[in-house]
Structure 1
Amino acid sequence: MDARSVASAPAPAGFGAFHKEQHSRALAYVVQRYHLPKQEAEEVVADALVGVVNRWDELDNPEAFLYALLPRRAVDKLRALARRNEQPVDDPFLEIAAGATYDPVPFDLKTMLGQSADLLTPRQRQILVLKALGYTAKEIAGHLGVTENTVNVHFHRVRKLLRGLSADSW
């Protein structure tokens, strides 16, 4: 079901009130959290609301589902904008969290860690860089779509690996 067929179909009972209550809050969330211009943020929110209306009858908590969809849709929009070069994404957190193929970080991880950077998995490198930028495990987990415990385990393994490498070099 695409957006046009949803627009022509009658909205499920209760969705109108949900839309009225959540639209402006979701829009503010996307603009503030992902630094998207209002027009792009509107598209993200509309797309997420279409996802909610498509599953309306199945959902126990439509608000939670909406706020689970918004980050994915926002990062997808940021990637699309970056691919079209319409808007450079200047937030390194979003780029790294989205799995950027280039290094938007102000320092070079390779220079800092030398060849040991090659021993880290891509996810470990993401988490290490985000931790170095000062983000908490909870913030990293929210943006990468993993649990806080997963972030802590990855970071623990990175520290263990780097400690082992520094002990070998003495």
Structure 2
Amino acid sequence: MLVYLLSAIETDEDRALFVDLFEKYHDRMEQAALRIVKNSHDAEDAVQNAYLQIIRHLDKVSEIPCKNRGFWCISIVKNEALTILRKNKRIVLSEELEEKPIAATEETLSYKEIVQLFAELPETYRAVLEMRLILGYSGKEIADRMGITENAVNVRINRGRALLRKIAEKEGIHP
């Protein structure tokens, strides 16, 4: 796959930058995609699509601080995986994505319902919950990425979950 992707890049400098990103983040990107789509074929598609997006935006990589490049790559693959799920209409709220289920309903929430619930959260809580529940980052990794303390991350996760429960109850989804 790497040879195919490198053929789409024009300059040696950009190729070197892409190879560096590939070597550093490929495994984490695959894991993040697989965590979302639950299917190795779809995960590979999501990773490949993410690499194509990265290639399209290689000129912007130099503007991203080195410590945030991994988060940027993981965010792209996460979005590609969610796009694949949306296309396949196979959205399932999985206990593997959550430490504690938000709602114990007999019906599985649709992708649209999950997105609507998360969309109602303030960005402060939504960002840490996405990093923790979807990307699987530890509290320390989230703290490093956001430039806050690990304690602040834990507080935001707990408050975000509580707020998400309230929003779910308001929408008629009872925990």
TM-score (norm 1): 0.49
Rg larger in 1 or in 2?
A: 1
| TM-score using structure 2 length | 0.48
